[in-house]
Structure 1
């Protein structure tokens, strides 16, 4: 993964006002500023530019937490019924996400908006400029399609988190500040662009050599397109894309052992359709998966950075479900005594999924090299079960086969045939919850079932009793409203 993980952060142009407002550090390093007209000359320039787009997924230009691996999880896991902030966390904006009391000035809501548009801006510049470079035509087409895949992924996050959002497809070239003010684009138009980008990206290669592992593939584009259609409840188109993933010769399969989906030694394996890449000692600012720092707290005497909402999450799993021990831990081996220390408090067990067990000592999780899985094959199988159930008005034999592949890998019994459509739907969402804890799916899954489902789920948790229908979207960040008079706020937020 050298081509992706050792990228140099390069700011290619001035950028969007909506993507960099308040990111002051972007303007404090003039040595990193390269005008696009000066930069896009060679094959190496094109490759470096696309690597830098990938870099927006696992690092932050201002040295904050990365988008994938911490920042996005603060929104969609802490605001779900899965997770709470650490009891040691004194950041009021993080704590507000866990209690559904976040407001328009919340710094984490603002940061995710900025990171998403920062990545989109890099993708836009690459898509606009790479076509003019004299280079191998196959590589040129591939790099443009990789850029479109990431742009689609980022817009997919934006539209699900914030609703109507400004659709920006080119780097602004006007010096008139008024030309930078862009109104919110209706969701349907944003989705149209997402689908167009992903359809082009399906022409990406099926795989790569060792040095390019982790880049977007045609299979990843089909899988993400399936998720987009599923979110839109376009069941038939979703199923068509799922079948292309399953039967398209990509070689995807579940790991026999669930544990292997989250370890350094097995990264970019057959289950990993698209992952954000992390590696130890990159030398790049903040390119670490911060979700792994549960074990750091053992030596410092503090709590992990995030914790399960309560013991009810742990109790969803039967004792023989192998996912339980992978997802949680309640004890740590103490090398000094040769014994395991068992935690006994209201907040255990802790999250275990992203702990990098290749590290010694385990408490050095700031060096974690565990990738963040954006799309796993298990997701495709559960999407298939869901789509078939909705298309047929009830579960088909293929729907049972799909969900039972996931259950069999977890060493739990198959679902018994004979469920009605509603009961099977509930079974799929429960399976998704258990399969994808900490992977950024739960809040999205609750929202797409409907606002009532989300609010009812949150009201079962005392800390989240403030939840209401407005929480099916996050607020447009206050600073963006203040900077851009054409932006209007989401309902329910002042």
Structure 2
């Protein structure tokens, strides 16, 4: 992520904090919603406030990972009791930490609504005003897309909250179809009105291709469970093909994730982080750090890792192995550590008192952070071009054209040093594409939603090491997360998801 863009986001967060610290001073002027939107710069600051919601407070980076990648056979956690083990073993309840995202995403939605309503005050020309509205609507769609996949039908808030009356804040759930209708409307507007490119100083802000990527992902989700609108496969193909050529795969898989190469051509949408600046980093790298690793602050916590189940999906020649897994490394004491070796330090074996421990994650490495666990600079990758290619392969195959799927799939495999796939049987190719998604996108916040739309959560739980160890059985209720208890207690018009 471009450093200027990161710094603007950071300054926005600090400005909000500073404003909260000066409530006792008598202001000479007041900047509020009614007079803040005076020009383009004011609108841009407000837009960055919508993005700023992605800076989830505290350890929510950890829970974002555990909520979206954790409930799969790919991820195991070291701390089995309570929240971490409940998420990784797919043992959800109303109090598990996924609940923090309800409030965070609705905060982002409310900020988007406020910007949309107030852009006309800024006196921008029509085209520019539409572009700013498109950016706000892209982010609103991004947050609603998370909510509908997590919780199903959720309340639709399409106007900013101006009061706290029951009518304003205690809305009932909309249907899943109604939520998706809003998402599609917002993203189609974004595609039509966002700029096709931005200057380097605005790297990371949504463009038309960003919106097309998210729209294609929405169509693919709608084609699967629970909606099963299979005609959406064709929509996904049409939309995602518009992204082809806008980005490119990195020649080396590992280069996608290095901090030195953060502005690479494969990244479509990321949450930016800065190393060694309070309030601007991620804590994920610290939690993912292997024991005494040189790639995380203070050696890392080794609180979550990839499973042997995932590792065994890879061919030994797969070039993604050394980037995905920290299978062998030299620790901070200069000792060679190899996973599952009889000479390993305690805690890096498949067995032992905390079985299963898991193989340390290699995608998050930051040896430069000396500030705090929250000071790591790894950007969180939310959309990248490899996902586009895999989505196109899947959509073509599900639409009945396996041959058209192969070129997209084989681009991913060829970069990994693997031979072309020639399989054209739909069912067999479906399994191959699923496996490639699991390998390529491991730990990138896609696993739970993939299992959900494929209808594969039950099969995943049967081989999920944490679910097995903690004796968690599949139930249809687990296809959605429960609405948080605190939300239900404050809004009597909401009904909990079935089974909870």
TM-score normalised by L of structure 2 = 0.85
> Which residue of 46, 66, 77 maps to 1:74?
66
Asked if 1:383 is matched to 2:375, the reply is: no
Which residue of 2 is the match for residue 345 of structure 1? 349
Runs ≥4 residues deviating over 6 A: 10-13, 25-28
C-alpha distance in 2 between matches for 1:191 and 1:34: 35
The corresponding residue for 1:238 is 236
Q: Does 1:259 align with 2:254?
A: yes
Give the aligned partner of residue 428 of structure 1. Answer: 433
In the TM superposition, residue 463 of structure 1 has moved relative to its aligned partner by 2.8
Match of 1:457 among 457, 460, 471: 460
Counterpart of 1:45? 42
Name the counterpart of 1:409: 415
- Kindly tell me the number of residue pairs found equivalent between the two proteins: 461
For the 8 Å contact 1:378–1:406, the answer to whether it is kept is: yes
Distance of 2:95 and 2:218 partners within structure 1: 29
* Range with bigger deviation, 177-186 or 404-413: 177-186
Question: Relative to 1, partners in 2 of residues 1:479 and 1:372: Cα closer, same or farther, differing over 3 Å?
Answer: same
Structure 2 CA distance for aligned equivalents of residues 318 and 3 of structure 1: 39
Q: Secondary structure at the match of 2:53?
A: helix
Q: Is structure 2 residue 187 aligned with structure 1 residue 181?
A: no
SS in 1 for 2:292: helix
1:431, distance to aligned residue in structure 2 (A): 0.5
CA deviation string 1:320-353 (max 9, x = no partner): 101111011134324544x423344122421111
Contact in 1 for aligned 2:285/2:300 (Cα 8 Å): no
Return the match for 1:470 from 456, 466, 477. 477
Shift of 1:276: 1.5
Partners in 2 of 1:163 and 1:318 — Cα distance? 37
How far the C-alpha of 1:38 sits from its partner, in A, is: 3.6
Q: Mapping of 1:65-214 within 5 angstroms?
A: 65-66=59-60, 69-87=61-79, 92-106=82-96, 108-135=97-124, 137-202=126-191, 203-214=193-204
Contact 1:12 1:34 in 2 (8 A): no
Residue 273 (structure 1) aligned to one of 268, 277, 288: 268
Query: Is 1:288 aligned with 2:292?
Result: no
Q: Secondary structure at the match of 1:173?
A: coil
- Aligned counterparts of 2:476 and 2:21: Cα–Cα separation in 1: 42
User: Structure 1: how far apart are the matches of 2:452 and 2:216?
Assistant: 17
Structure 2 distance, partners of 1:244, 1:428, is: 21
Q: Is the 8 A contact 1:207 1:217 kept in 2?
A: yes
Partner residue, 2:353: none
Aligned mates of 1:225, 1:155 — CA distance in 2? 12
Partner-residue secondary structure (3-state), 1:232: helix
SS of the aligned residue for 1:379 comes to: helix
Measured after TM superposition, the shift of residue 3 of structure 1 is 3.4
Q: Secondary structure at the match of 1:374?
A: strand
Return the match for 2:8 from 6, 21, 24: 6
Are the structure 2 counterparts of residues 382 and 143 from structure 1 closer, same or farther at C-alpha, using a change threshold of 3 Å? same
- Give 2:227's aligned residue: none
What secondary structure is seen at the aligned counterpart in 2 of 1:322?
coil
Q: Which residue of structure 1 lines up, in the alignment, with residue 498 of structure 2?
A: 491
Partner of 2:364: 354
Shift of 1:289: 5.3
Q: Check 1:409–1:31 CA distance in 2 against 1; reply closer, same or farther (3 A cut).
A: farther
Residue 375 of structure 1 aligns to a residue whose secondary structure is: strand
User: Do the aligned partners of 1:289 and 1:368 also contact (CA within 8 Å) in 2?
Assistant: yes
Q: Aligned residue for 2:229? A: none
Take 1:301 and 1:259, find their aligned partners in 2: how far apart are those partners? Answer: 21
Counterpart in 2 of 1:306? 304
Q: Distance in 2 between matches of 1:490 and 1:335?
A: 47
TM-score by length of 1: 0.86
Segment of structure 1 superposing worse, 213-222 or 269-278: 269-278
Q: 1:446 and 1:423 mapped to 2: Cα distance?
A: 17
Superposed CA deviations along residues 367-418 of structure 1, whole A, max 9, x for unmatched, are: 32222221111111111111111212x512x21111000000011111133x
SS at match of 1:408: helix
Give, in whole Å, the separation in 1 of the partners of 2:183 and 2:59: 26
Distance across 2 between alignment mates of 1:174 and 1:349 = 50
